[in-house]
Amino acid sequence: MSTILDNSTDIPEMDIPETLADVIDRLGGIPLNRIRWQPYPGTATIDDAERAEHCELIDGILVEKAIGQFEGRIGHILAWYLELWMSITKLGFVIGDGAMTRLRTGNMRIPDVYAVRWDRVGKQEVPEDTVTKVIPHVAIEVMSQGNTEREIERKKNEFFANGTEQVWIVRPRTETVDVWTGVSDCVTLTVDDDLDGGNSLPGFKIPVQEIFAASKRGSIDLSLIERWKAGVDGLPGGNP
């Protein structure tokens, strides 16, 4: 069954914050310099979010994404590995940073990496909408120095509430990956572990160490791609 939003623009009513401190708290304690003042906070729309660069729409507020060069590199590496794996398996498609995704609340979120199987799209063709209504099976966030734990926690919970099956939170400073399979179900992987897609991306597997190593050395491990092609670890679509 597809997890696709309808065309309604109704936004559920929320408690109106009384102070600016309440707004910051609701947004997860983010720095003030990430909050756009135009349009006035609380009045921004999806159209405003489409025109803004690197901004999410949260409770009618344009919030700039926290970004960093190395964090962006990690997201790029993960997106490339997933893209190559999807090319082998034909299971779905991947979008790097820029997958503007509209949620049922009216919020518009942008995961660092977005992965979805074709069964959620309806046909094997990537939608061309500027803001997609197709919820990812796996949403990936790379923690930047400008992120707060509470803002990522809220974002994670919003994705799960809208049908995402897994959220991966990549932590460059500790070289770990938090794999969330539900709002309260998490396993933290280290460089000694393998990251796999579980039931969401069946057959995908990559050493956690490789994610960070490839990000540092400037190239991917082509032998890993060859093993995928050969059908190692029961990869769907692989050769016998």
User: pLDDT tens, 145-189?
Assistant: 999 999 999 999 999 999 999 999 999 999 999 999 999 999 999
Give the containing element (helix H, strand E) for 45.
Answer: none
User: Closest Cα partner for 136 from 196, 182, 200?
Assistant: 200
CB within 8 Å of 96: residues ≥ 6 apart: 75, 76, 79, 112, 113, 114
Distance CA 141, CA 114 (A): 9
Q: Which residues of 112-137 are buried (b: 16+ CB within 10 A; e: fewer)?
A: bbbbbbeebbeeeeeeeeebbbbbbb
Distance CA 68, CA 183 (A): 26
Range(s) for CATH 3.90.1570.10 in the chain?
A: 69-234
For the cut 80, the answer to whether the pLDDT of residue 76 exceeds it is yes
pTM: 0.87
Rounded to an integer, the average pLDDT of 14-43 is 89
Fold assignment, 69-234: tt1808, chain A (3.90.1570)
Rounded to an integer, the average pLDDT of 94-100 is 89
For the cut 80, the answer to whether the pLDDT of residue 239 exceeds it is no
